[in-house]
Structures are given as structure tokens and as C-alpha cells.
Structure 1
Amino acid sequence: MKEALILVLTHRFTRFALVMGIFYQFLFITVWMIGFGSVPAQMSKLKVAIINQDTSMSAQVQNDLKKHLPFQVQTAHSLPRAIEQLQQRKIVMIIEIPNGFFKDVRNLKTQAHLDYYINESNPMLASMTAQQSASQITEDFNQELTKRALQGILQGLHVPGNRAQTIVQQSMNRVVPDVHILYPVSNMGYIMSPMMFGMAGYVSAMILQLNLNNAIRDLGDKLAKWRRFQTRMIISVAASFVYAYIASTYLAAWGTPIRQGFLQLWVFQTTAEFAYMFLTQIPALLFGMYGLLFNIGMLIAQAIYSGASIPRMILPRLVNILGYVQPMPYAVEGVQNIVLGGPSVTRDGVALLVYAIVCLLLCFLISELKDRRQE
């Protein structure tokens, strides 16, 4: 038994697996800690727009509202323009102070409505933070206005105790939130579907390329050099269509409301698969089975860079820049728009197509150089 253990443990595949097991512990923890570790301190980078339609409202009250916001606050002058920014995920929430708001605040018989606009097709953390902030802002506003109402009324009137208590009760809950959901999402699984699409597509491409490389290598001289490259390309392209169709169909079977249509999701995901196929093929061509190390490393990194779970605007600057040279951020954003709701995916689709073409040319160059070296 001892000899068998020594033989197994000293085998190159076993040593490789043990080393990689340790390596990925460090890689996972490092990458995820960099991403999630920046969240608490960087949440203030999220942007909120305030639109004040009430010209009678004092600047002091508007400043008090800004103090309650743990975000970067910008003043907007047009609701349609602000909604466009919300659709493009440049801001996470719009707070609109409607005309007559301050008048309603001072009228004890009415309730003043503060309007919130939130885009739920944002990354989950941004959407949840915006909704929690809407509730907290309303509560803080109520307390502040109640205090102001009491100071103004009780100082000017000599009110009996019972009457004063009644006034206090009437002064409570002066602001009622009206939350306008831009793209309502009823299931958290739908929110996470863009990341699942990206991860599943990348892993399937990675596994296929590794096995294609092993199969072509074992066939050896049975395939001419051009047949090797052509066969790999045909299988990769065909598999991209099939993988994307199966994934889109299965997602629809779960009842996911695909807002921009099944066909657009299938075509877009196929384009993303092209990029994944040709990207993961490069390490497989260069390093064989050891290319799995590089592909898994890129997979882990892109899980953070993609913006599906953490808004990219709050990630460290270097990490955010690295996201622009990887395909998954474009794929995740496109699927977010198609499935959850958002603007056109043309820009993301073009970026993925260009990425796929560049990687395809690199695959061709690497294959040619390897064939010449073997000759």
C-alpha cells in the first residue's frame, strides 16, 4: 500500500492537481476579497439624481435631503434625461420632489409624496441599496419635517397639552414614498441569470477546447494540418449555436420574462459563445491541458469584473479597466438588457464580435506557428 501511495502522489498529474488546489485557494480568496472588500467603503461612489420641481421649496430642505444620502448626488433638470441615465445604469436612483410638495407638507390634512425611480435591472447590490435608501430617506425626512412642524406651530401658539399631542400625531408620517420601478423583477434568480449565462458559456467553451485539443493531438498525422484547424473552427462555431440555444430555451422554460425576445437572446448569446470559444482556445493551443490554469484564472476574474453582482463603478480603478479587455462584462450587460430590460445591445454585440474575430486570428497565427515548428 505504501508503494502504491508513493507512486500515485509522485505522478505528474497528481502533483499538478495538488499544487493547483492550493493555488486556487489563494486565487479565489484574493480576487473575491479585492472585489467585495471594496464594497462598504466604495458605496458612496454610486450616483443619485435629484429633481426639484417645487420652486417654493427652500434650499435648506433640499440640502437636508442630500445630507441623508450616502451617495454622490447630482442635480437633474429633466426627468426624461434622468430616466435615460437610469436606463444606462449611470445612476442608481432618481429622487423627484414634485410641484406642491412643500405646500402638502405644511397642510396637516394631506400627505406629501416624494417620488423615487429605481432600475431593478441594475446589479443586485445597487438595486437593493437604492430601495433600502428610499425607505431610510423617507423615514429621515419624516422625522426632520415633524421637528420643523412642531417648532413652527408650538412656538406661535399657546396650545393645551392634549391639543399639542394631537398636533404631534398629525405631524407624523408627512412624507409617503412613491417608488417607480423601471424594470420590475419578481425573482432573484432572474437577476442572477446574466451571470449564470456568462459562467455557463465560458465553462462550456473552456471544457470543449481542452478536449478538442487532446482529441486532435491523439489523432496526430491522421489529420492534415489545415484539417486540424478547420475541424476545430467548425465544431466551435456549431457548438456555439447549440449551447446558446439550449441555454436560452432552458432559461425561458423557467418562466423568465425575456423582455427583448427569445431570438435576440439566442443570437446575442451565440456571439458571446464565439468570443468564449476562441479566447479559451488560445491557452489550449499554447499550453495544452495546462492551459486550463489560465482559463480558470480568467473565469474567476471575470466573475468579479462582469458587474453582475457588484456595480463596476465601485470596483478599484485597475480592476474596472481590466474588465474592458474581457468578453464576459459585455456579455453580462447585454443579457441584462435583453432579459431584465434596458437599452439596445448593439454596442455589446459588436464588442463581442470584434473580440471573437481578434481571438480567431490569434488562434490561426498560433496554429500556423506550431505547424511550422513541428515541420
Structure 2
Amino acid sequence: MTGYDGVTDRVDGLTIAIVSEDASGMGEAIAGNLADRLPFTVVRPESAEAAKKQLHDRELQMVVHIPADFAGQAASPDGQAKIGFLINESNPALIKSMMSGAAETITAEVNQQAVAMGIKGTLTGMNMPEEQAAAVSGGLSERVVSDVQSVNPVQGMNNQMVPMMMVLASYVGAMIMGMNLEQSSMAIASATGRWSRFGARSLINVISAAAVSLVGASLLAALGGQIQEGFLHLWGFQFIFLLTFMFVSQMFLYVFGMAGMLFNIMLLSVQLVSSGAMVPRELLSDFYTGLSKLLPATYAVDGNMNILFGGPGVGGDLAALLVITAFAIVVSAAAVVFKTKTARQPQAVIAGRQQS
């Protein structure tokens, strides 16, 4: 509950870029007014191409484009001025919903601003007859329309939910598998060495991650799921993040024993909130935003969106997942060493008493 508290009050965490190519001054005036009145953070990129790149990299949530002929179209009695909106759908579904609503609001706002800015005088200065200028300015609020386009379009709500479902199913499966491995390890502890068990569990993790990720990617492809970057990319990335989930969930079991399942359940809930699968991380509190950078589900969701829908690539996500995996392995190995030392101390005491 604390993760979603105040989400609607943080819309200023979402960023919109306004690009004006209108040289008449009208576009700059409209852009300035929008920057002052919109609840979002507004930036002014140098060019439309720079804005599109930032949008593709998810640094922006929407690009507002005022074309070069905006004033001319607004001045033409038979013309229709358009404002372009570009939305990246390779994001949580809430982004598209909020930005689509914002596009409607901005269009209405521009209509009101255009009339309030005294377009009648501007048109008159363009040698348009005063009566015609009055007619055009009076009807301008109904002649500025929006042109909403999308990049990395998502084909339906069923595909939109895939990143969240993949992460949820993978972590729950990793938790259950880890619990079974812990129970099996405890059952054979007296007959096997600690490092033999550790190595066997690690090998089982690798083999299981490869097999399960292949099945998962195959099912997604067989059911007609959207895969922008291809099957092999999906399989490879799913193998990495599933392997990370396995080592992270088992890390708590190595450290706390079966009580580590409580930490896994808590971590699952936290990751569903902070990963950005349902609610954009930009709308979360600073605590959850910072926490998300330390958890593997964040990078699993980002990478899945990039592969399934399109995006900037998964190199950074893969690197983060591998670092988290290495950390989990080191902590697990340290827990094995520490528990072995603490187990030897009582045995040494018992042996000393028997000798005496």
C-alpha cells in the first residue's frame, strides 16, 4: 500500500518534450504557456530528432510537436492547424492512458490560448481583412486538432501484460524451486559435503533456467505473443533474468534457512510495485524508486519491454542482472562458510568433553 501512496500527486515526475518549428512566434508562445500550466515536467529539446531519441530511450513520456506551418494553417480560413503528439507505448499501460488524456487536454488548452493570445490582431497584421480575421479567430478553437501517433506500438492489452506476468511467474517459480532445493539439501546434509551441495544447486539452477526459459519463450511465440527482437533474444534474456531470480531467492534460504521464504514473499511484493510493470517508476516515492535500482525485476521488466515491443536495447539490463547474480552467489557462498564454522564449534566442545 505504501508503494502506491501518493502516485497521483507525482505526475510532475513524468516528462514531456515540446518542440516548436513554427517561426511566427505563435508556436513559441504556445510552448511557453504549456510549460507554465501543465502539471508535468516540460523540457525543450534542440530538435524533433533529439526528442524522438529521448522518447525511444524512455527518458520522455511524450513529445508535443508544433509544426512549421501551424500559424499559417491557423490563419487559413479553409485550413486546419494540427499539433502532433508522439507516445512511446513500450511502457506501462498507465503511461499511454495518461499521455492520451494529456494530449486531449493540451489540444483544448492550445485552442483556448490561441484565442486568448489575440490571434485576431496577428491575422490582421498579416494583411487579412479585419472581418475575416475576426471570423477566423472566433472559430479557431474548433480548428486546432491533435495528431496522436505511437512508436513501439503494443498489439493489445494481452501483450501489454506479458512483461509483468513473465516476471511474476518466474520469481514465484524460482521461490518454490529454491524451497524444494533447500529441503532436499537439508535431507542429504549428513551424507554430502557443503560445497558439493552448493555446486549441485548452482548447476541445477543453470540447467533449469535454460530449460524453463526455452519453454516460456516457446509458449509465448506459440500463443502469438508480440516479439519485436526475435525468439533467440527473448530466450537468452529470459534465461539470464530467471537465473538471477533463482540465485537471489536462494540467497535468503542460504542465509536464513526456510525462514528465508518470508523475505522472498516480501521481496516479491516489493518488486511488483517497484519494477515499473504496472505503475511507472517515475510516479513512485523516492524510496521505492531508489529500491527499484537494486532489485532484479526492474531490469527484467525493462529488458522484456525492449525485446517484446521495442526499445533502446538490453545491454544495460543484462549487465545489472549479472552484477546482482554475482552478488547473490557471493553472499550465498559466504553463508555456507559461516554456517559450517558455527556448526563445527559445538562439535569441538562435545569432543573435548568426551576426551576429558
How would you bin the TM-score normalised by the shorter chain? Answer: 0.7 to 0.9
1:38 aligns with 2:3: no
Aligned to 1:268: 237
Aligned to 2:21: 53
Aligned to 2:89: 120
Q: Which runs of 4+ in 1 moved over 4 A?
A: 146-154, 156-159, 163-170
Q: Which deviations, in whole Å up to 9, do the C-alpha atoms of 1:50-108 show, x marking residues without a partner? A: 11101113343333333452211111221111111111111101111111111111112
The alpha carbon displacement at 1:43 in A equals: 0.7
What residue ranges of structure 1 are gaps of 5+ in the alignment?
1-32
1:363 aligns with 2:312: no
Pick the aligned partner of 1:288 from 243, 257, 274: 257
- Counterpart amino acid of residue 192 in structure 2: L
Q: Which deviations, in whole Å up to 9, do the C-alpha atoms of 1:176-222 show, x marking residues without a partner? A: 21112111112122222112111111111111111111112122323
Is the Cα contact below 8 Å between 2:55 and 2:62 reproduced in 1? yes
Aligned mates of 1:287, 1:164 — CA distance in 2 = 77
Q: For 1:129-168, what aligned pairs fall within 5 Å after superposition?
A: 129-146=98-115
User: TM-score when scaled to structure 1?
Assistant: 0.83
Aligned to 2:178: 209
Aligned to 1:116, what secondary structure does the other structure show? strand
Percent identity reads 33
Q: For 1:90-239, what aligned pairs fall within 5 Å after superposition?
A: 90-146=59-115, 170-239=139-208
1:373 aligns with 2:342: yes
The alpha carbon displacement at 1:169 in A equals: 8.2
Is the Cα contact below 8 Å between 1:145 and 1:174 reproduced in 2? no
User: TM-score when scaled to structure 2?
Assistant: 0.88
Is the Cα contact below 8 Å between 2:8 and 2:283 reproduced in 1? no
Q: Which deviations, in whole Å up to 9, do the C-alpha atoms of 1:266-311 show, x marking residues without a partner? A: 1111111121111111211222221110011111111111112222
Is the Cα contact below 8 Å between 1:116 and 1:134 reproduced in 2? yes
Is the Cα contact below 8 Å between 1:121 and 1:127 reproduced in 2? no
Does 214-223 or 334-343 show the bigger shift? 214-223
Aligned to 1:278: 247
1:333 aligns with 2:302: yes
Aligned residue-pair number:
339
Aligned mates of 1:112, 1:35 — CA distance in 2 = 42
CA root-mean-square deviation: 2.4
Aligned to 1:114, what secondary structure does the other structure show? strand
Aligned mates of 1:101, 1:165 — CA distance in 2 = 18
Does 249-258 or 136-145 show the bigger shift? 136-145
Aligned mates of 1:150, 1:346 — CA distance in 2 = 50
Does 86-95 or 36-45 show the bigger shift? 36-45
What residue ranges of structure 2 are gaps of 5+ in the alignment?
345-356
Does 315-324 or 86-95 show the bigger shift? 315-324
Distance 1:100 1:168, change over 3 A: closer
Aligned to 1:6: none
